[in-house]
């Protein structure tokens, strides 16, 4: 009897620390297909909901964690974000040994939140331009006491999905003239620059006649990472379809990694706005965290910087830096190649070390390149020769 009680007490203790709590979440199998399987949720501090040492997953504007007795749909999002955020955190805290991430307080994660971010009020009014089909990381704020807005820390927001028919895309795009207007529209819906470009490709599929637009799209490129997600014929593919676009960002591991990477890099790269450099970096780390051979092959084959199977690889253009031709994919391809070129990578913190030399408004041609050359002095095996290799690489790209 004593033994039985001891086991029961032990059992409760294990539960209290969350070590034995298992839930269903979206995972990748070795072929990069999405599957739903049981996972153990690490570092839980609650035994009633999705709150742990490092993350609390809440629904919309709520402050309480999503509960283990909430609807299955909501729990799938909570479990998937919770699990993959911990994977991403572990990558930065343990593999890269990023002190900033090791010391980071608990981050609040909001799923199915439609509000626009407001720097003063945290959430904009419910009726103002509701957001769908994307994800973003928001910077901490000091709050606004007269209106009862409490201070908040860095947060990640996942939007609910919503079907958008290609026909409705066409409605947004003014074929005759303003591609720019169309892109601005997409940008407003998609903070994540790559997702925006990806949507343009989806849109392109429905716009065979728009030859003018097609050429612009090609310059703008597409997000390799999201294309890879789109191409995998699986549960993830159900998130997209040809005629109806929708995206449940809280169920896509690489989007979760991408968003956490923004948070992890926010000591130097603020969360206030997107640039090709900080988006390309977030994709780079998302690709590394995913640690999938299949995905790496896709990146090596199809990145527009150097992809083996890409016919027209991209040369650097000044337009990549900002505005509607901003090109996060070029940066992603560049970063993926820089590590390969000098034969060092995550293991000795080359790319991560470089981020400490960057600021939020860094340019590709000046700041990013200089940062890689500087970081190479510290982290490359043979700094002199490796720097020559990098110069050669950049020259070949017109940089």
**Contact residues for Zn ion, defined by CB under 5 A:** 192, 279, 282
**Cβ of residue 261: shortest distance to Zn ion, in angstroms?**
8
**Cβ of residue 307: shortest distance to Zn ion, in angstroms?**
21
Contact 40, 20 (CB under 8 A): yes
**Cβ of residue 85: shortest distance to Zn ion, in angstroms?**
15
- With H, G, I as helix, E, B as strand and everything else as coil, classify residue 297: helix
**Cβ of residue 283: shortest distance to Zn ion, in angstroms?**
8
- Name the DSSP letter for residue 240: B
Closer CB to Zn ion, 25 or 282, in the complex: 282
Closer CB to Zn ion, 265 or 282, in the complex: 282
Closer CB to Zn ion, 173 or 195, in the complex: 195
Q: Is the dihedral of CA 183, 189, 195, 201 positive or negative?
A: negative
Q: What is the dihedral of CA 222, 225, 226, 227, to 10 degrees?
A: 60
Please give the structure tokens belonging to residue 319: 């337009």
Residue nearest to Zn ion (CB): 192
Please give the structure tokens belonging to residue 119: 């720097």
Alpha helices in 343-382 (DSSP H): 350-355, 369-379
**Cβ of residue 258: shortest distance to Zn ion, in angstroms?**
6
Closer CB to Zn ion, 89 or 397, in the complex: 89
Degrees, nearest 5: CA angle 126-128-132: 80
Between 211-220 and 193-205, two packed helices, what is the crossing angle to 10 degrees?
150
Closer CB to Zn ion, 112 or 254, in the complex: 254
Please give the structure tokens belonging to residue 33: 């297909």
Closer CB to Zn ion, 192 or 375, in the complex: 192
The distance in angstroms from the start CA to the end CA of the chain is: 75
Rounded distance between C-alpha atoms, residue 392 and residue 10, angstroms = 61
**Cβ of residue 222: shortest distance to Zn ion, in angstroms?**
15
């Amino acid at each position: 009897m004593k033994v039985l009680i001891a086991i029961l007490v032990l059992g409760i203790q294990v539960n209290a620390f969350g070590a034995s709590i298992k839930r269903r979440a979206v995972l990748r199998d070795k072929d990069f297909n999405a599957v739903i399987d049981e996972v153990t949720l690490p570092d839980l501090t609650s035994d009633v909901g999705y709150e742990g040492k490092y993350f609390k997953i809440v629904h919309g504007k709520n402050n309480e964690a999503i509960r283990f007795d909430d609807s299955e749909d909501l729990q799938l999002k909570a479990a998937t974000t919770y699990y993959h955020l911990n994977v991403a955190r572990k990558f930065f805290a343990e593999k890269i040994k990023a002190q900033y991430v090791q010391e980071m307080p608990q981050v609040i994660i909001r799923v199915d939140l439609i509000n626009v971010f407001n720097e003063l009020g945290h959430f904009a009014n419910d009726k103002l331009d509701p957001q769908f089909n994307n994800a973003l990381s928001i910077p901490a704020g000091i709050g606004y006491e007269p209106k009862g807005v409490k201070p908040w820390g860095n947060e990640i927001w996942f939007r609910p999905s919503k079907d958008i028919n290609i026909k409705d895309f066409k409605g947004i795009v003014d074929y005759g003239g303003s591609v720019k207007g169309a892109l601005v529209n997409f940008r407003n819906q998609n903070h994540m620059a790559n997702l925006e470009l990806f949507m343009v490709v989806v849109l392109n599929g429905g716009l065979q006649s728009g030859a003018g637009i097609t050429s612009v799209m090609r310059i703008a490129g597409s997000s390799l990472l999201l294309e890879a997600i789109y191409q995998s014929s699986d549960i993830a593919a159900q998130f997209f379809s040809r005629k109806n676009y929708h995206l449940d960002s809280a169920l896509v591991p690489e989007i979760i990694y991408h968003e956490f990477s923004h948070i992890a890099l926010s000591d130097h790269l603020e969360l206030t706005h997107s640039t090709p450099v900080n988006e390309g970096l977030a994709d780079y780390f998302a690709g590394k965290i995913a640690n999938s051979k299949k995905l790496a092959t896709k990146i090596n084959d199809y990145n527009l910087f150097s992809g083996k199977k890409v016919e027209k690889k991209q040369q650097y253009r000044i337009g990549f830096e900002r505005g509607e031709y901003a090109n996060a994919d070029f940066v992603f391809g560049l970063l993926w190649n820089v590590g390969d070129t000098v034969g060092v990578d995550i293991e000795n913190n080359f790319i991560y070390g470089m981020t400490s030399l960057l600021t939020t408004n860094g340019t590709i041609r000046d700041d990013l390149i200089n940062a890689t050359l500087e970081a190479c002095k510290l982290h490359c095996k043979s700094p002199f020769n490796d720097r020559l290799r990098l110069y050669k690489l950049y020259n070949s790209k017109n940089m």
